[in-house]
Amino acid sequence: MTDNDALEKKTPGACPGEHHPRVRSFVIRAGRMTAAQQRALQELSPRYALDVSAGQKLDLQAAFGRIAPLVVEIGFGMGKSFVQMAAADPDRNYLGIEVHPPGVGACMMLIDEQGLSNVRVVRHDAFEVLTQSLGPDSIDVLQIFFPDPWPKARHHKRRLINPQFVDLIRPLIRQGGQVRLATDWQEYAEEMLAIFNAAPGFINTAPDGGFVPRPEWRPLTKFEARGERLGHGVWDLVFRRED
């Protein structure tokens, strides 16, 4: 697996716990950064990156120059599918959260190449963005695609999706908003399904209470396409926020 492929299989922000020491669900890797990605971090950040280091609530109207429904993606990898979705959905604002510098640089290059005004990125721990920078009912859609499955049993505590995470995001998602998930790790998919099916305030949009077919709005990534050719499965879930 190349460095870029590893970033396509994303490692998103931290896994929160309200009353226990926080266990991070990501590890910062020293991946190679191209000169173009480095230049993008330096030159494009003032235009497309939001600074959340002070821990203050984001002014979304100022950040995007308008008021519009907000889509948040945790762990966008190299940003290709994230930017593709934003380009196809100009009536909504897209905020991407990613900790790995090469991915952030690559994503901003794509945003700039396409001249998109509805996309901003944050290079920061997703836990801190969710708990400090976004307010109640601020998110229309929360997307987490192919989070690190931490397959070894002793590492399962690092998985992003757990009951504490669901408790954290519930008040951030507006009434009728969605949580969209996808993974190529079946055991993790079943765990996600059980957690959200048991969570108060969320309704499974699948009629049978299970998984949904791959939605047309979620682009097929290079990593996913290769997996399909090898016969690997992918499981999608969509939950709606309801009281």
For residue range 2-20, list pLDDT tens digits in order. Answer: 333 334 444 444 443 343 4
Tokens of 84: 């593709």
Identify the domain containing residue 138 by its residue range.
3-181
Task: Give the mean pLDDT of 50-56.
Answer: 91
Strands 70-74 and 93-97: parallel
Any domain includes 212: no
89 is catalytic: no
Q: What is the DSSP string of 177-209?
A: EEEEEEES-HHHHHHHHHHHHHSTTEEE-STTS
Q: Mark 229-242 as b/e (b = at least 16 C-beta within 10 Å).
A: eeeeebbbbbbebe
Any domain includes 221: no
User: Would you state the pLDDT for residue 2?
Assistant: 35
Tokens of 119: 């996309």
Any domain includes 157: yes
User: For residues 135 and 111, is the Cβ–Cβ distance under 8 A?
Assistant: no
In total, how many domains does the chain have? Answer: 1
User: Would you state the pLDDT for residue 7?
Assistant: 40
Query: pTM of the prediction?
Result: 0.87
Strands 139-145 and 119-122: unpaired
Give 53-57 contacts, CB < 8 A, sequence gap 24+: 53/124, 55/128, 55/132, 55/133, 56/132, 56/133, 57/132, 57/133, 57/134, 57/135
User: Would you state the pLDDT for residue 168?
Assistant: 96
Q: How confident is the model at residue 231 (pLDDT cuts 50, 70, 90)?
A: confident
Task: Give the mean pLDDT of 100-112.
Answer: 97
- Quick: pLDDT tens for 58-95: 999 999 999 999 999 999 999 999 999 999 999 999 99
Any domain includes 216: no
Nearest to 169 by CA among 237, 74, 27, 76: 74
Any domain includes 208: no
Any domain includes 235: no
User: Which residue would you say has higher pLDDT here, 22 or 214?
Assistant: 214
Residue among 5, 148, 184, 208 flagged as catalytic: 148
Q: Is pLDDT of 30 > 60? A: no
Any domain includes 54: yes
Residue 235 is which amino acid?
W
Any domain includes 166: yes
Residue 42's DSSP bridge partners are none
With a pLDDT cut of 70, the percent of the chain lying above it is 87
Lowest-pLDDT range, 37-51, 63-77, 225-239?
A: 225-239
Q: Mark 188-201 as b/e (b = at least 16 C-beta within 10 Å).
A: bbebbbebbeebeb
- Quick: pLDDT tens for 141-179: 999 999 999 889 886 898 999 999 999 999 999 999 999
- Cα separation, 104 vs 28, in Å, equals 13
User: Would you state the pLDDT for residue 50?
Assistant: 98
Domain with 10 in it: what CATH number? Answer: 3.40.50.150
